[in-house]
A and B are shown apart, each in its own frame.
Chain A
Amino acid sequence: MRVGIDLTRCAGYGNCIEAAPEVFDMADDEDVAIVLTENPGPEHAEAVRKAARVCPADAVLIEE
């Protein structure tokens, strides 16, 4: 699984971080999310899919 954030859409809601804290975090200098692990293991797959579902801006990109 490959994970990314569409920074043109990310509005800094932080829902992805709540859903998958080991994969996403907030950027230090900007109110947007960043990806900590671009290729998270299968143990994170469900949390990452939830992160995509709960993003109000649909900014979480997943390639399965």
Chain B
Amino acid sequence: MTEHDREVIACGYVGLTAPDLSAWRSFGTEGLGLQVAGDAAGGEDALLLRMDERAWRIAVLPGPGGLAFSGWEVRDAPALERLAERLAKAGADPRADDALAARRGVAELLCCMDPSGNQLEFFHGARISSAAFVSPTGASFVTSAAGPGDLGFGHIVISYAEIGSALEFFFGTLGFRHSDIIMLAGDPWHFAHVNPRHHSLALGPGPRSSALEHIMLEVTDLDVVGRSFDYFTDSPFALSTTIGKHTNDLMVSFYVKAPGGFEVEYGCHGRLIDDATWTTAMYDSASFWGHRNVG
């Protein structure tokens, strides 16, 4: 595989489900500092949230509390075409879907399933909003950087009952690069990057078919993380951990339970990877300090 074959450059957006959208709205805006997208503010059917100049980055739909879809970004139409060919060759059955592209507000989109049936969407041409992003908590999200460019919305961590086929798909077929491994309770968790963000996806073994463990959102300022931690401490939402620092991506963060299921990691100061010098490593702990379970 050459650099030319690594079409995916970011996790551009994510679709989640939640049983109570109004609870998620408070959780996402007051707690996480996300902005409700103006053109979707009136709807009770779905919640679209902004974190930068894009029209939306996070969609929340009615459901049990989990991952509905993830949107993986490529640079342009030729890249999407190359990716379609490679996915087809690997038997992933990618389908171009103009109606879905219109709904997501992207120029062009392919849809396929990962080996455990998680819906993946590959796209280019994300819609930029003319209205400024204004965080209700003054948060500034790390979705791009002056040098590296697009870093995506954050990261996703998914557990797989069939981890082998998932690893082959993401590292082999899609060309995601290994960041490192953390051994947790004797099992390896694999961290993967597609841009300088330390990881856009992490995969590990799980008992169920496949489940979203957490999503991560990164802000620029430790004070925003701390104030968000205070907000959740005082709110009815349930914190999962104290503030801590991760071993592999060096992020200072905490975890909070999203209403309905899975967790959200909220942090800052995550490290960036330079592929010219990066060497993979293995850790036997996820955190240098903190991240103690609470509740």
Contacts and interface: CB of A to CB of B under 8 A. Distances in A.
B61 A54 contact: yes
Contact of A13 (B45, B46, B64, B95): B64
B117 interface: yes
A15 B63 contact: yes
B113 A57 contact: no
B17 interface: yes
B121 to A, nearest CB: 9
B115 interface: no
Contacts of B17: 13, 56
A54 B62 contact: yes
Contacts of A53: 43, 45-46
A20 interface: no
Contacts of A50: 45
Interface string A6-37: 00110101010000000000000000000000
B92 to A, nearest CB: 11
Nearest to B97: A58
Among B68, B95, B113, B117: residue with most chain A CB under 10 A: B68
B232 interface: no
Contacts of A54: 45-46, 61-62
A42 to B, nearest CB: 20
Contacts of A57: 68-69, 119
Given A8-B93, A13-B17, A56 B45 contact: no
A21 to B, nearest CB: 15
B103 to A, nearest CB: 7
Contacts of A55: 61
B111 interface: yes
Interface residues of A, number: 12
Interface string B83-98: 0000000000101000
A11 to B, nearest CB: 7
A15 B62 contact: yes
Contact of B103 (A8, A11, A13, A58): A58
Interface string B114-136: 00010100000000000000000
A56 B63 contact: yes
B47 to A, nearest CB: 12
Contact of A8 (B15, B62, B64, B113): B113
A9 B111 CA distance: 9
B15 A56 contact: yes
A42 B100 CA distance: 24
Contacts of A56: 15, 17, 61-63, 68-69
Contacts of A13: 17, 63-64
Contacts of B93: 8
Interface in A46-64: 50, 53-58
The 5 closest A-B pairs by CB, nearest first: A56-B68, A56-B61, A53-B45, A56-B63, A56-B17
Interface of B: 15, 17, 43, 45-46, 61-64, 68-69, 93, 95, 100, 103, 111, 113, 117, 119
Given A8-B93, A13-B17, 17 more contacts: A8-B113, A9-B113, A11-B119, A13-B63, A13-B64, A15-B61, A50-B45, A55-B61, A56-B15, A56-B61, A56-B62, A56-B63, A56-B68, A57-B119, A58-B69, A58-B100, A58-B103
